[in-house]
Amino acid sequence: KSQESGSNTYKFIQPQIQEEIERLLKLEKLLSSALEKKELCLHYQPRIKVESREITGVEAFLRWNHPELGCMYPKQFLPLAEETGLIMDIGEWVLETACFQHRIWLKNNVIQKPISINISNYQFQQPNFTNVIANVLEKTDLPSEFLELEITEETIAQDLELAQKTLLQLKEMGIKICLDDFGKGMSALGYLKQFQIDTIKIDQDIVQNLENNSQDLAIVSAIIGVGKNFNIAVVAEGIESKKQLDLLLELGCEEIQGNLLTEPLKMGDTTNFLANPNNSLTLS
Ligand code: C2E
Ligand code: MG
Ligand code: MG
Ligand code: MG
């Protein structure tokens, strides 16, 4: 009997696995042609210094618009892009597109602060990563001080020696480095000083949980304190409510990013937002 149910279980799981494999294979095929079919696009989200209402940067987010599958978010396709190596071409496209766009915004004086670009672990570990960055800057004619790369602690921890070397080169090129999703992982404060980090983005799960979790409150307070001491900009990410904003201001956090200010916007809407002096009214 037990054998029978065992084989039933087997028959039951097998088609599901089969389906999932087929789904992923199909998605991989679609993703591999997404670039040439021009289905990828970027949305942009500004961040702001709350007191002065000064916009202090803008971050690029990848989107995949498929004619049948609709608009897809990074979590739906980036893991696959990383496993298959497609992330290299996609990542380069993101860098080029965002830097090219930012050069236009700088030229038209809609912003004079850096563009932040998310770098996946695989991208960062490639041996010629700094060359890729240098080429993009040259191709798009973007001054390096206007580029900020967002990486995570996991990316640094993966290969400390490589990270040390790469980050030093990037810093020497004049590029800014942001630690994304900080507070979620190890929160290794030593990294902040060792790697000359310019910006910390406090993880949005922590930000959104602040009201209910006194431990997170203590973590955020410590991060803000260290940031001030090391002269690192601390940005709270994913702020959705006035209550979260007030709590963070109380803790001494000066910069925020999130839907309370604006959700990530299409290119044209971003231009309008950056050019409109009333864009921060939602905060008051
Ligand atoms: P992240 O860099 O930590 O980005 C923050 C995410 O929060 C973005 O999701 C953004 O759209 C979303 N967000 C912003 N404000 C709010 C808010 O107020 N509430 C909520 N609930 N969400 C908010 P998205 O665009 O889905 O990106 C998710 C992650 O995917 C990013 O996390 C980043 O790690 C990665 N990613 C996005 N674009 C790229 C890219 O071009 N290259 C690479 N390698 N990774 C990317
Ligand atoms: Mg980010
Ligand atoms: Mg983040
Ligand atoms: Mg994230």
Residue 148 Cβ inside 6 Å of ligand 1? The answer reads no
What's the rounded mean pLDDT across residues 33-51? Answer: 97
Q: How confident is the model at residue 190 (pLDDT cuts 50, 70, 90)?
A: confident
pLDDT at residue 193 in the model: 83
Q: Which position has the token pair 């937002």?
A: 273
What does the pLDDT average to over 11-20? 80
One-letter amino acid at 165 equals K
How would residue 8 be classed by pLDDT, with cut points 50, 70 and 90? low
Q: Considering only CA atoms, which of 189, 126, 198 is closest in space to residue 158?
A: 126
Q: Which residue among 72, 102, 118, 257 has the greatest number of ligand 1 atoms within 8 angstroms of its CB, and so is best to mutate?
A: 118
Largest CA distance in the chain: 75
Give the DSSP H or E segment for 1: none
Q: In 3D, which of 163, 213, 214 has the Cα closest to residue 188?
A: 163
β-strand partners of 55: 48
Average confidence (pLDDT) over 187-209? 91
**Which has the minimum average pLDDT: 29-43, 97-111, 210-224?**
210-224
Residues 6+ apart with CB under 8 A from 281: none
Residue with tokens 């993703």: 31
What the block records as the tokens of 44 is: 């942009």
Give the up-direction half-sphere exposure of residue 147: CA atoms within 13 A in the CB hemisphere.
29
CA 111 to chain centroid, in Å, comes to 19
- Of the listed ranges 35-44, 123-132, 212-221, the least confidently predicted one is 212-221
Q: pTM value?
A: 0.94
Residue 263 alpha carbon, nearest atom of ligand 1: 15
Closest to 279 in 3D by CA, of 43, 103, 111, 105: 111
The residue nearest atom 35 of ligand 1, judged by CA position, is: 74
Q: Which atom of ligand 1 is nearest to the CA of 94?
A: 41
pLDDT band at 105 (very low <50, low <70, confident <90, very high): very high
Please indicate whether residue 204, judged by its CB atom, sits closer than 6 Å to ligand 1: yes
Would you say residue 11 has pLDDT above 70?
A: no
Residue 28 tokens, joined: 């991989």
Distance from C-alpha of 163 to C-alpha of 149, rounded to nearest angstrom = 13
Give the residue from 120, 115, 118 showing the smallest Cα distance to 88: 120
* Ligand 1, atom 20: closest residue by C-alpha: 238
